[in-house]
Structure 1
Amino acid sequence: MTAKILVVDDVSSNVKLLEARLKAEYYTVIVAHDGEEAMDLVAKQQPDIILLDIMMPKMNGFEVCKKLKNDPLTTHIPIIMVTALHDTHDKVQGINAGADDFLTKPIDETALSARIKSLTRLKMVIDELRLRGETNAEIGGVSGMDYSNQIFDANILVIDEDVFQAEQIYNVLKQRFRSIKILNDPIEALKVGIEGNYNLIISDMQFSKTDGLRLCSEFRSKVETRYTPILILSEDYDRSNLVKALDVGANDYLTVPLDESELIARVNLQVKRKRYQDALRMNLFNNAEMSVKDPLTNCYNRRYFDAHLKNIVKDSVEKDRRLSLMILDIDYFKKVNDDFGHSAGDELLKQIQKRISENIRVTDLLARFGGEEFVVVMPDTNVLDAFAVAERIREIIAIEPFTLLDKSITHSVTVSIGIAEMQKSDLDNIKKFIIRADRYLYKAKNSGRNRVVTS
C-alpha cells in the first residue's frame, strides 16, 4: 500500500526526521518549508496525504488547511496537522479548519505509522469513488459523494466496561451524532455489533470476560462487520498490544485518558471512511442507470468495465502505481446448464459473483465479462498480491459446494483464473492488457482447470 506524502514544516531537522521515517516504510515523500510552497506543490503534484505543521512563516497551518479544504480540487486530500503536545486549542482550531487527523510532537513512530496507514486506505477509497463518479458521469450515471459527506446520522457502538469512560465518550459524541449505543459486555456487544449495521465500533482493549484483541479479530472476520471501522482505546504504555490490535484489524486507536478534540477528530475520520465505502457499494449494487449493471448478477457489465478501465489505467499511470487484472471462468459451466437447466446456471452465476465480491477490496472493480466469465481490476496491486487474492477466491469457490434450485441440488464448482499486470506497452492499447490476462486464463484451462496462472 503506497502513498505520496507531502511533509510541510519550516524546521529542516523535523522534515528530515519525518522524511527518513516515511521512506523507511516505502512511501514517496515530497517536502515544503512554508505554507505558500505547500500550496504550489499540492496543486502540481496532488499528494495522497499532507503532514502539516501549524507554526510556519508566511502562512500558518490553519490557513493552508482551510484553503485546501475549501478548494474542490483538493478538498478530498487528507490532512494531518502536527500540534504541540496536549495543545487542545490547536486541535479544536484544526478541526474547524478541516483537518482530518492529528499528530503531537514529539511524534511517536507507532502513531505515525497507524495514522498514515489509516489515511492511505481512506484516500484509496476516496480516489476510487471519485474515479467511478467520473465514469458514471461519462455514461449518464450518478455519484455517491453526496451521501458519503453526510456523517451526522452515523450509528456508533461503544464497548467499554469502564462506565465512567463510556459515559464520557457518550457525552462528547451525542452532540455530533444521532445514535450512540453503549454496551459494557463484550460478548453481547459482538452479537449486537454484527446485527446492528454500525458506522463505527469503539472498543476498549481490556475486558474481564475476553481479550480485546480477540473481540477485534471476531468483528473483522464476520462478513457483516468486515468493513466496519474499529477504533480501539489503549493505555499509553501498552505498545505491544497496540501493534497487535492494528495487525488484527483495528483501524486506529485513542489513548486514555481521552482528549475530547482528538476523539471527535478520529471518530469523524472513521465514519467518513465508512460512508465512502458505503457509497462505493451503492454505486456497485444500486446504480440508478441499469445500463451499467448486469441484470442477473447485479455487478457491473462489460460496457461499464470498458469505460472505467480506461479511467483506472489513466489514474494508475499518473500516480505511477501498479495495476493488475484477473479474468475468472467457471469450469464446465455448460454441463451445469445441460444437467440442471439454465435456471440453475443463473443461480450459480449469482452465487459466484457473491463469493468473489466478498473476497476483494471495495476499491477493486468487479464486472461480468461475458457468459460465465468475470473480471476483477485491482488498482495499486502487483502481480504477486493479485495472485494471492486469486488463489483465495479459487479455493473458496472450490471448497464449499453450491446449492441451487431451492436447495434441491448441491454441486461442486471450480474456476480457472488468469492474471496480468499492466505494462508500459499496454498504455498505447489497453486491449493488450486484457488479452494477456485472457491468454493466462486459457493456459489455466488447458493445463487442468481449477488453477491460477500468471506470468
Structure 2
Amino acid sequence: MDDVATNRIVLRAKLRGARYDTVQAGTAAEALARIADSHPQLVLLDINLPDMDGIELCRRIKNNPATADIAIIVLTSASRSGLRIAALRAGASDFLNKPVDELVLLARMRSLLRARETDEELRQRETACHDLGFEEAAPANISPARIVLIPDRPETGITWRTTLKAHLPGNRIQMIDRDAVLAVAASEPPPDAYVISANLGATGDGLRLMSELRSRHPSRHAAICIAVEQGARDTSAVALDLGASDLLPLSLNSIEAAQEAAIRLQAQIERKRKQDRQRALVTDGLRLAATDPLTGLFNRRYAIPQLERIAENAEISGRSFAIMALDLDRFKSINDRWGHAAGDDVLVGVAERLGANLRGMDMIARMGGEEFLVAMPDTTLEEAQHAAQRLCRLIEETPFRLSNGGSIPVTVSIGLAMGGTGGAQPPVEVLIDAADQALLGSKAHGRNQVQLYNPIKHGHRRSGYLPRRSALVS
C-alpha cells in the first residue's frame, strides 16, 4: 500500500522478480477492502495514506480477529521521532525506511512468512484438538520470562541488562558467557529468549551459536533475537534466513532503541509462550487419544498400529514376539458386590502391577472392560510363558487395596500366542484372536492360569484365520 503509484509499481516489480503475487491499493479504504477479499499473508504499508494514517490502519488490521494474523511491514520516508515505536506498538512486525534495502526486505519477508506458516500449522492442530473435544491447555507460563543475554563485550551486556530490566520489569534477565550458553540451554526450565550479538569475538560467531541453539531440543523453540549494528544489511539478512526470531539494535543507549528492543523482545516471548501452549494442547490431545483415561495404559486405538510395527520389526529381524490376552476372573462380581468404584480401583492396581513387572520395551494396553493386552517384542516362547506365569502369581499373591480402606483378592487368566515364528505371518488381528482363544481355554480350565494357543486344540481354520469371540467368559 502506497499513495504514490510509481512507488507501488517499482515495489511490485521487485516482488514479482522474487516470485511473490501482489495486490495493490492506493488508499486505506481500498486496502481494507482488498485485505478482506484476498486475505494476504503479508502487508507492506506506507505511513502516508490520503484517507488514514498508516499507524491507525495497522492498528485496525491487527485489532480485527479476521486479519490479526497478517504480518505487516511499515515502509516510510518520514523521519518523525517516535514513528518507529508507534508502528511496532500498533502491531507492525518491522519498520523499514525508504529507499528500502531490497536484500533486507526480502529476508524479512521470508522470515515472517515462515513464522506465519508455523503459527498456522500449530493453529490447525489446536483446532483439530478442540474439534475432538480436548480442553484448551491452561496458560502454564504465568511465571516471569527467563531471558539470557550473550553480548560481544561485558560492558555491552551490562547496558543491555540494565536497560531491559527497566523496560521489561519482573522478568529474569541474566548475562551469560557464550561458552556456558549450551549448558544453560539444557537447564530446567530452559530460557524463553536469547539476545545474542551477531559477532562474538569473530564475525558471524553469534549466528553460528544461534544455529547451534536451534539444533538442540531444549532451546529449539526459544525466541532468539540477534543484536546487529545499524546498517549491517548482510548480517541482518543472513540472521533472518538462518532462523532469527527478530533483530534488535546492538546499541541500546538511546531511549528509542531501548523501547524498540523491549517491544520486539516482549512480542517474541509472547509468541513463544502461545506456541508452547498450543504444542502442549496437541501433545495432551495425542496422549488422550492414545491412552485409557482410567488406567493410563494405551488403548486399543493405539495398540493395534503399535502391534503391527512390532510384527514388521520381527519379520525384519527374524525374532519372535509374544502376545498375551489377560482378563480378570469374575470381575463382574466385584462390581456387583463392592461397587464400580472398587472395580476401578482394581483395574488401576492391575495396570500398575503390569507396568512394574514388565520390560520398558513391552507394550501394555487396556482393550476394554477388564481385558488387557501385552505385546512383548524379541521374546521366545519360554520367556513369554515365564513372564505370563509370573504375572498370574503377582496378581494373585497380594489383594488389591481399595480407596475406602478395604481390599479384594483378584486372579487373572492369560492366553498366550506367538508371532514372528517363521513362514507367512498372519495379520495382527489374527494373532490377537489366537491369544483370545487361548484365554478362553484358561477360563474353561479353571481360571487363574496361562494357556498357550494351539491351532489344533483351539479349532485352527484354513489360512490361519480364527473366529473372533464376541465376549469373554467370566
TM band (smaller chain):
0.5 to 0.7
Read off the aligned partner of 1:283 and give its amino acid letter: L
Task: Give the counterpart of 1:231 among 208, 219, 225.
Answer: 225
Kept in 1, the 8 Å contact 2:28–2:49? The answer is yes
Kept in 1, the 8 Å contact 2:221–2:272? The answer is yes
* Alpha-carbon spacing, 1:329–1:340, altered in 2? closer, same or farther (3 Å): closer
State the Cα distance separating 1:346 from its structure 2 match: 8.0
State the Cα distance separating 1:54 from its structure 2 match: 1.3
What is aligned with 1:382?
none
Read off the aligned partner of 1:280 and give its amino acid letter: Q
What is aligned with 1:216?
210
Kept in 2, the 8 Å contact 1:228–1:274? The answer is yes
- Helix, strand or coil for the counterpart of 1:95? helix
* Alpha-carbon spacing, 1:37–1:247, altered in 2? closer, same or farther (3 Å): closer
Task: Give the counterpart of 1:65 among 58, 64, 75.
Answer: 58
* Alpha-carbon spacing, 1:81–1:238, altered in 2? closer, same or farther (3 Å): closer
What is aligned with 2:27?
34
What percentage of residue pairs aligned between the two structures are identical? 30
CA distance in 2, matches of 1:281, 1:117: 23
What is aligned with 1:190?
182
Kept in 2, the 8 Å contact 1:114–1:252? The answer is no
Kept in 2, the 8 Å contact 1:152–1:178? The answer is no
Kindly indicate whether residue 92 of structure 2 is the aligned counterpart of residue 99 of structure 1: yes
- Unaligned 5+ segments in structure 1 are 1-7, 303-327, 351-371, 373-455
Kept in 1, the 8 Å contact 2:198–2:227? The answer is yes
| TM-score after normalising by structure 2 | 0.57
Kept in 2, the 8 Å contact 1:133–1:142? The answer is no
Deviations for 1:85-139, whole angstroms, at most 9, x for unmatched residues?
6644112222332323322222122321232122212222332333334333333
State the Cα distance separating 1:229 from its structure 2 match: 2.8
Kept in 2, the 8 Å contact 1:157–1:200? The answer is yes
CA RMSD of aligned residues (A): 3.8
User: Quick check: 213-222 or 241-250, which moved more?
Assistant: 241-250
* Alpha-carbon spacing, 1:106–1:345, altered in 2? closer, same or farther (3 Å): farther
- Helix, strand or coil for the counterpart of 2:51? coil
Q: Aligned pair count?
A: 316
* Alpha-carbon spacing, 1:177–1:156, altered in 2? closer, same or farther (3 Å): farther
CA distance in 2, matches of 1:9, 1:29: 13
Kept in 2, the 8 Å contact 1:101–1:266? The answer is no
Kept in 2, the 8 Å contact 1:161–1:185? The answer is no
Task: Give the counterpart of 1:74 among 67, 75, 78.
Answer: 67
> For 1:50-449, what aligned pairs fall within 5 Å after superposition?
50-84=43-77, 87-143=80-136, 147=139, 153-174=144-165, 175-176=167-168, 178-195=170-187, 196-208=189-201, 211-236=205-230, 238-258=232-252, 259-287=257-285, 292-293=289-290, 332-335=312-315, 339=320, 341=322, 347=361
Kept in 2, the 8 Å contact 1:153–1:179? The answer is yes
State the Cα distance separating 1:240 from its structure 2 match: 4.1
Q: Highest CA radius of gyration, 1 or 2?
A: 2
Deviations for 1:403-445, whole angstroms, at most 9, x for unmatched residues?
xxxxxxxxxxxxxxxxxxxxxxxxxxxxxxxxxxxxxxxxxxx
* Alpha-carbon spacing, 1:190–1:88, altered in 2? closer, same or farther (3 Å): farther
Kept in 2, the 8 Å contact 1:173–1:264? The answer is yes
- Helix, strand or coil for the counterpart of 2:103? helix
Kept in 2, the 8 Å contact 1:80–1:100? The answer is yes
Kept in 1, the 8 Å contact 2:104–2:233? The answer is no
State the Cα distance separating 1:143 from its structure 2 match: 3.9
* Alpha-carbon spacing, 1:9–1:282, altered in 2? closer, same or farther (3 Å): same
Deviations for 1:150-203, whole angstroms, at most 9, x for unmatched residues?
899432211114344323333443333532433252101232133252222110
CA distance in 1, matches of 2:163, 2:19: 37
- Helix, strand or coil for the counterpart of 1:28? coil
Kept in 1, the 8 Å contact 2:224–2:244? The answer is yes
| TM-score after normalising by structure 1 | 0.59
* Alpha-carbon spacing, 1:135–1:208, altered in 2? closer, same or farther (3 Å): closer
State the Cα distance separating 1:238 from its structure 2 match: 4.1
Deviations for 1:61-81, whole angstroms, at most 9, x for unmatched residues?
122122222222222222222
* Alpha-carbon spacing, 1:50–1:57, altered in 2? closer, same or farther (3 Å): same
